[in-house]
Structure 1
Amino acid sequence: MAGPTVRACGPRALLVEVDSAEGAAMLARWARTAGLAAGDVVPAACTVLFDDVDDPERLRTRLADWSPSSEVPAGPLVELPTSYDGPDLGFVAAHWGVDEAEVVARHTGLEFVSAFCGFAPGFAYLTGLPEEWAVPRLASPRARVPAGSVGLAGGYCGVYPTASPGGWRLLGRTDAPLWDLARDEPALLAPGTRVRFVAAA
């Protein structure tokens, strides 16, 4: 199997192209675990940026050894207590052809993985939603989505860390602090983190 496509980004950075967000997340975790990069490792939808690299050619050689089948240790698990009272719960139920209780059962039965962060500080794009459960975004985004809102868009799940505009389909809300600069790792759902949603009593 051919290795990933690696491109230079200036004298001290490499951009690695992969096939999916899951692949990017796995590559980033593999690289961190193997101690391949002392600088920033930034996964995105289909790329991983290695920035501030001491020896780009050595890193390029090591990256040739990686494939999606490479063994990658599991990330930490975070459970998010969630109240399933979102304004789009009924829409998602109709879209899936089930009742609202089954939407909650399906969502809480999945283990998601934070593939990458973007849009807002602490906003993690969570993979793990089956392809056949993909949900369309709103035709027009809401002007304000409350902090802690749990939503779906396409094949991703996400939680809004702060109030902001947004077009995701909202299932519910959590009170978990997703972004806190006082923590060593400000983002609660940093790339590689495994995430389970737990229905609040």
Structure 2
Amino acid sequence: MFTGIIESVGRLKQRTTQGQDARLVVRALWTVGDLPGVAMGDSVAVNGVCLTVVGFAPAENHVDLSFDVSHETLDKSSLGALNEAGVVNLERALRVGDRMGGHWVTGHVDAVGQRVEVLDRGQSWDISYRMPEVLEPELVAKGSICIDGVSLTVNRVWDQHFSVTIIPHTVKHTQLLEGQGIKTVNLETDIVGKYLRRFVDLGLQNADKGSLTLDKLMDSGFAGGD
């Protein structure tokens, strides 16, 4: 489990193909003093994708982390197109007692989207993204969205698009403004929204079967009379 508060940016140092899978070596700008929080088998979110540390090589001002990435993860996230020297957002898994500064992030990417517009507002940037239609019911204005591992607040939702606003601190400590033009990103919607959507879908399915009626809703206080 993660919070969407990025701890460091890193760069892809090496990519090795292993059949349909891959091993990624990411150079993280963590110091030796940070290493007690990184160990073999730990979970680290890389651009919002939960990966397991299978090797690490510390140096004085950085650490090289190795991850085995399955073909499923490569196909369903932007990691499949990540080139060497590509910049990634990194966050170690949440520990019991840590401050919860963002929102609950699982590291299980729902889909990829595209950054389609960036507007410079002076001391902030409005960014618009295009998303798959299936995600739109799970987004609401002022709700949460995780973009490449970064917890952000949704400004607007419209026609398979949504927008967010970021401040200079976010620009400095993440890679959200990296690259020019359209950019592919990993998207994870708020897990609370997923459960609510599932609950409503099941309710509608049961209504179609006749098990949920207006009378039952009224008896339960969910619907009133005239």
Say yes or no: TM over 0.5.
no
> What is the TM-score when the length of structure 2 is the normalising length?
0.26
Q: Which of the pair is proportionally richer in strand?
A: 2
TM-score by length of 1: 0.29
Larger Rg over CA atoms: 2
